[in-house]
Amino acid sequence: MPPVVYQDKCQGCGKCEEICPGDLMELNEKKKAFCRAKRDCWDCMACVKACRFEALETRIPYQLGYYPARLIPKVREKEIEWTCIDINGKVDKFLVKTHNK
């Protein structure tokens, strides 16, 4: 399931295109991100974590959470704050320390 791209938030910086290990993210003629091969995306979330404008979001597959469940990372200097929203709107947040310096 590829990331959802919020076109109104996308600034066309190209970070998602640079970081995608499958070379699936591209910028269209309006300099907005999109996934060019949705069925090839393996949900690594590299693009979602790299987007500093919060224009990308991962939808949790229906096998795990059904729509509209979401998982949103916010990358900070030494940690990632993960926000998990379940199908009923319940929000849980988790902090995971990273090894970034």
One domain for residues 65 and 52: no
**8 A C-beta contact, residue 49 and residue 15:** no
Which pLDDT score, from 0 to 100, does residue 47 have? 95
Which pLDDT score, from 0 to 100, does residue 13 have? 96
Instruction: Report the number of distinct structural domains present in the chain.
Output: 2
One domain for residues 6 and 45: yes
Any idea which residue has 């310096």 for tokens? Answer: 101
One domain for residues 34 and 73: no
Q: Which domain holds residue 101?
A: 60-101
CATH number at residue 7: 3.30.70.20
Q: What is the mean pLDDT, run by run of 10 residues, along the chain of 101 residues?
A: 91 96 95 94 91 88 72 88 88 88 57
